[in-house]
Chains A and B, each alone.
Chain A
C-alpha cells in the first residue's frame, strides 16, 4: 500500500496568514493527489484534484502543487472558515490511502 505522510500534524495560524501543508507519498503517484477539507462534525469536502486543479467553487486562495512523491497545499490568506482539518489522498492505485490529517487551528 502507498503510505501518505502529512506535515505538520497541527498548525496554529491567524486570519490573513499564508500557510502551507505538505504531503509525501511512499512511492511515486504522478499527479494523482487530492486535498480535502473537513470541518468538525461535517463531511469531507474535496478541494483539489490531480495535485493542482481546484474543484468547482473552491476559492482561489487555495492552491496545490507537486508531482511524484512531494505535494503541497497552500492557503494564501486564511479566512475564518478555513480553520479545519486537511487530508491528502492518493488515487494512483487501490487501495486509496489518506494522510493522517493536518489540524489547522486559530
Chain B
C-alpha cells in the first residue's frame, strides 16, 4: 500500500524558514517523480514543485522559485521542501504527491504551514 506522510509544518514568522518532509513507503521510491501541492485555507489547489525520480530534475512554480528548494533522498525514501523567506501568502496545507506517468496518483494527508507574526 502506498503511503505518503508529511511532517514539519507549523507556525512561522514572515521571513523565516521551514523544512517539510514526506516519508514514503509501499512503492519503489527512486523510480517515481514526486511533487508538492499546496492549498491555502478555504481555497483551491496550487502546484508548488516537482522532482524527477532517477534524473532528479526540479521544477518550481513562479511564486516560490528562488525561495523554495525541493530535494529527495532515495536511500531514506524521503522528499523534502526547504522553504525560505516565507510570506503570509505561503500559508497553506502542503501535500506531498507521487507521480504515475506525468501526473499524480497518490497523495499524503498534508501538513499545515502558517506564516504569521
A98 to B47, Cβ gap below 8 A? yes
Known: A43-B95, A44-B95. A49 touches B44 (CB 8 A): no
> How far does the alpha carbon of A92 sit from the alpha carbon of B10 in the complex, in Å?
33
Which residue among B35, B59, B105 has the maximum number of chain A CB atoms within 10 Å of its CB? B105
Q: Mark A41-85, 1 if CB is under 8 A from B, else 0.
A: 011111001100001000000000000000000000000000000
Task: Flag if A49 contacts B45 (CB, 8 Å).
Answer: no
Determine if A43 and B59 form an interchain contact, defined as CB atoms under 8 angstroms apart. Answer: no
Q: Decide: A49 and B47 in contact? CB cutoff 8 A.
A: no
Given A95-B47, A98-B45: A49 in contact with B59 (beta carbons within 8 A): no
B residues 77-108 with Cβ under 8 Å of A? Answer: 95, 100-108
A37 vs chain B, min Cβ distance (A): 11
Q: A43-B107, A44-B95, A45-B107 are in contact. Are A98 and B102 (CB under 8 A)?
A: no
Cβ–Cβ contact B101 & A44, under 8 A: no
**Taking beta carbons and an 8 Å cutoff, which residues of B are in contact with A?**
35, 37, 44-47, 50, 59, 61-62, 95, 100-110
Chain A residues packing against B (C-beta within 8 Å): 32, 34, 36, 38, 42-46, 49-50, 55, 87, 89, 91, 94-101
Q: A36-B45, A43-B109, A91-B102 are in contact. List 16 more A-B contacts (CB 8 A).
A: A34-B104, A43-B95, A43-B108, A44-B37, A44-B95, A44-B107, A45-B107, A46-B104, A46-B106, A49-B100, A55-B105, A94-B50, A95-B61, A96-B103, A98-B45, A101-B44
Which 8 pairs, one residue from A and one from B, show the smallest C-beta to C-beta distance?
Answer: A96-B47, A91-B103, A43-B107, A98-B45, A94-B59, A91-B102, A34-B103, A95-B61
